[in-house]
A and B are shown apart, each in its own frame.
Chain A
Amino acid sequence: MEVARTTADVLVVGAGMVGAACAYYCSAAGLRVTVLDRAAIAGGTTSACEGNILVSDKEPGAELELALLSNRLWAALGAELGAASVELHHKGGVVVAKSPEAAGGLATLTAEQRRHGIEAVDVAPDRLFELEPNLAPDITAGAHYPQDMQVQPMLATAELLRRARRHGASVHTGTTVVEFLRGSGGEITGVRTDAPDVPTISAGWVINAAGSWGGSLAELAAAPIPVLPRKGFVLVTEPLPPVIHHKVYTAEYVANVASDDAALQTSVVVESTRAGTVLIGASRERVGFDRSVSIPVLRMLARQAIGVFPFLSDVALLRSYLGFRPYCPDHLPVIGADHRAPGLVHACGHEGAGIGLAAGTGHLIAQLLTDREPDLDLAPFHPARFQEVTT
């Protein structure tokens, strides 16, 4: 076997959605990029999610800014990659409420969101049924979010890496980082791997795009960050004709996304895919990396989905899958250089929004590494924020 002495400007660890976006934007900016993954392309959480690119579920603040930036970048990516090749769909989101309290809460939320640049349209019940004819009749209020999009995340990851390869990037799967290499000043100069064909890779920058395992990778670099798994199930139905036109969810969803509660939460999200299946997500539970299937959770998701779309009662559940969202205690991703380990840059911890936020993250990282002024202030995402909290 030929043993390559590999040198790169940027080494991306993790070939998920976030790593692929970093590789894409960095290589497009002229950097020489190498991507490593211990498993396969898009084999991590990226293969266990729903692929929504949302602004509707974001509360005002840094994450919303990143989401709005990402939303624009995804639209551009769709044009460049070909929307069909990554199944990018400007489908829009619809949020529905049954109880008067939920309806009131939704109206307050949309008003606030509009002030912060989200297109949030309050929709009267009769118009709601024009948007989604199969909704449950007892739904009393709703909002429409035309900016929300959907993408097939595995295809998007593979396509972005394909483009990166065209820009000279190389991708090594089945390759685990086992150690960080350091220079005389303690700075990170590359990694050692377990793969005989690329035993070491030296790089000017190492990007931690290891998703839910970003905490362990950071640990390996002696620069810990608190990224933890938050488990979620998704149900997949048999294929149907196009019956659900938007991403539809209940008003409780936004509250759950931002919740700090470790206990199980389900607030259903229902949508069709290009393939015809309907996805029903997603639960949120903090139970570590426990891969067991929980029938009560599946049952609750099914019940809630039928509550929104009663016709689903006769529709068959075909399969289910589960994944682990990479979350940080403050629900913000970690994006930026780690001063404890010069040369290490984090791009992980995007929790339930890593597909959507990947575009903005990759773009900002490329700006950072080519000494350009980032489009957004990166301070809220900086890894140092955790040390500030603890000291």
Chain B
Amino acid sequence: MDVIRFRFDGRGIEAEQGQSIGAALIAAGYRSWRSTRRTGQPRGVFCGIGVCFDCLVTVNGSPNQRACLTEARHDDQVATQEGAGRDHLAG
């Protein structure tokens, strides 16, 4: 099966075809890729099926994507998300 290669905070990650970004990150040894808005706590996958919204991540510049649902694609730029993930707007 084809291997998907994407980048997470600049580092190369491999995923199987059809795998979610969250699953690929866990397989690569990561547990969290977001910090909470109020207390800055780390968060990653919790429910794994798209209902808890804990696994939010920025994908190709779009914040708040659910990593457990979003299928990894070639050359995706995935980035850790701080807080609401739109700090550029607050400028």
Binding site for B on A (CB under 8 A): 133-134, 238-243, 276, 311, 314-316
Q: Which residues of A contact B62 (CB under 8 A)?
A: 314
Binding site for A on B (CB under 8 A): 37, 62, 64, 83-84, 86-87, 89-91
Q: Which residues of B contact A311 (CB under 8 A)?
A: 89
Q: Which residues of A contact B86 (CB under 8 A)?
A: 240-241, 243, 315
Q: Which residues of A contact B83 (CB under 8 A)?
A: 241
Residues B91 and A239 in contact, CB atoms below 8 Å apart? no
- Besides the known contacts A240-B84, A276-B84, A315-B86, 5 further A-B residue pairs in the complex with CB atoms under 8 A apart: A133-B91, A241-B84, A241-B87, A242-B90, A243-B90
The minimal Cβ–Cβ distance linking B37 to chain A, given in whole angstroms, is 6
Give the residue among A240, A242, A314 with the most B Cβ atoms within 10 A.
A240
Given A276-B37, A314-B62, A316-B64: A238 in contact with B89 (beta carbons within 8 A):
no
Q: Which residues of A contact B84 (CB under 8 A)?
A: 238-241, 276
Chain A facing B: main interface SS:
loop
Residues B89 and A243 in contact, CB atoms below 8 Å apart? yes
Given A276-B37, A276-B84: A241 in contact with B89 (beta carbons within 8 A):
yes
The minimal Cβ–Cβ distance linking A231 to chain B, given in whole angstroms, is 30
Total contacts A-B at CB 8 Å:
25
Bound Cα distance from A316 to B66, whole angstroms: 13
A-B contacts, 7 listed (Cβ < 8 Å):
A239-B37, A239-B84, A241-B84, A241-B86, A241-B90, A243-B90, A276-B37
Give the residue among B83, B86, B87 with the most A Cβ atoms within 10 A.
B86
Residues B37 and A238 in contact, CB atoms below 8 Å apart? no
The minimal Cβ–Cβ distance linking B85 to chain A, given in whole angstroms, is 9
Bound Cα distance from A242 to B86, whole angstroms: 10
Q: Which residues of A contact B89 (CB under 8 A)?
A: 134, 240-241, 243, 311
The minimal Cβ–Cβ distance linking A130 to chain B, given in whole angstroms, is 12
Bound Cα distance from A242 to B90, whole angstroms: 6
Q: Which residues of A contact B91 (CB under 8 A)?
A: 133
Chain B residue with Cβ nearest A315 = B86
The minimal Cβ–Cβ distance linking B82 to chain A, given in whole angstroms, is 10
Chain B residue with Cβ nearest A133 = B91
Give the residue among B62, B89, B90, B91 with the most A Cβ atoms within 10 A.
B89
Bound Cα distance from A133 to B86, whole angstroms: 14
Bound Cα distance from A106 to B21, whole angstroms: 50
Chain A residue with Cβ nearest B62 = A314
Chain B residue with Cβ nearest A244 = B89
The minimal Cβ–Cβ distance linking B79 to chain A, given in whole angstroms, is 16
Chain B residue with Cβ nearest A242 = B90
The minimal Cβ–Cβ distance linking B48 to chain A, given in whole angstroms, is 21
The minimal Cβ–Cβ distance linking B66 to chain A, given in whole angstroms, is 11
Q: Which residues of B contact A239 (CB under 8 A)?
A: 37, 84
The minimal Cβ–Cβ distance linking A318 to chain B, given in whole angstroms, is 10
Chain A residue with Cβ nearest B87 = A241
Q: Which residues of A contact B90 (CB under 8 A)?
A: 241-243
The minimal Cβ–Cβ distance linking A305 to chain B, given in whole angstroms, is 14
The minimal Cβ–Cβ distance linking B90 to chain A, given in whole angstroms, is 4
Bound Cα distance from A240 to B91, whole angstroms: 12
Bound Cα distance from A84 to B86, whole angstroms: 25
Q: Which residues of B contact A242 (CB under 8 A)?
A: 90
Bound Cα distance from A133 to B88, whole angstroms: 12
The minimal Cβ–Cβ distance linking A223 to chain B, given in whole angstroms, is 49
The minimal Cβ–Cβ distance linking A155 to chain B, given in whole angstroms, is 17
Chain B residue with Cβ nearest A277 = B84
The minimal Cβ–Cβ distance linking B34 to chain A, given in whole angstroms, is 13
Q: Which residues of B contact A240 (CB under 8 A)?
A: 84, 86, 89
The minimal Cβ–Cβ distance linking B49 to chain A, given in whole angstroms, is 19
Bound Cα distance from A134 to B83, whole angstroms: 20
The minimal Cβ–Cβ distance linking A181 to chain B, given in whole angstroms, is 50
The minimal Cβ–Cβ distance linking A273 to chain B, given in whole angstroms, is 13
Chain A residue with Cβ nearest B61 = A314
Bound Cα distance from A240 to B84, whole angstroms: 5
Q: Which residues of B contact A243 (CB under 8 A)?
A: 86, 89-90
